[in-house]
Amino acid sequence: VYNRISGELVPSRAVALSDDELVITASEDGHFYINGRANGERIRFLVDTGASGVTLSPQDAARIGIDLGALRFTQRFQTANGVGLGAPYRLDSMLLGSFAFADMPVSINQAEMSTSLLGMSALERLTSFEFRDGKLYLRR
């Protein structure tokens, strides 16, 4: 009961319905955010089904210990704001609620971003995901 209530009060908190299912409540802005970890450090992700991959903001990347000066921004992305550049990177580990992922390919965005993005490359590692009644259900 506590987990479900706290999931309503803190929308970015993933609530475990079972070992294989998490639920996230939409935030007031209508988006779905999930608190996760990348290489052991906390990151708040915006779930973005329009993004092909996981993209870390440069601020989040630096905070988890990635040397931004050593990156090569060779990836080109078409975004709502035009063409953006990213650097390929692999996280040793990524945690979303109780779901753990190893060896996760991500991009580090060159430009500032307000929130890191959780795109399809992560969602496709799940058995399914479903948007229903203001909630996002993740299943593995």
**pLDDT tens digits, one per residue of 15-36:** 999 999 999 999 999 999 999 9
Distance CA(22)–CA(15), nearest Å, equals 5
Give the model's pLDDT for residue 12. Answer: 75
CA distances (Å), 14 to each of 24, 32, 76, 118, in order? 5, 10, 31, 14
Distance CA(34)–CA(14), nearest Å, equals 6
pLDDT bin (cut points 50, 70, 90) of residue 4 is: very low
pLDDT bin (cut points 50, 70, 90) of residue 10 is: low
Domain region containing 49? 2-139
Output the pTM of the full model: 0.89
Query: Per-residue b/e over 50-60, b at no fewer than 16 CB within 10 Å?
Result: ebebbbbbbeb
Q: What distance lies between CA 139 and its chain's CA centroid?
A: 15
pLDDT tens for 112-121 read: 999 999 999 9
pLDDT tens for 59-111 read: 999 999 999 999 999 999 988 888 999 999 999 999 999 999 999 999 999 99
**How many domains does the chain fold into?**
1
What CATH number corresponds to the domain at position 27? 2.40.70.10
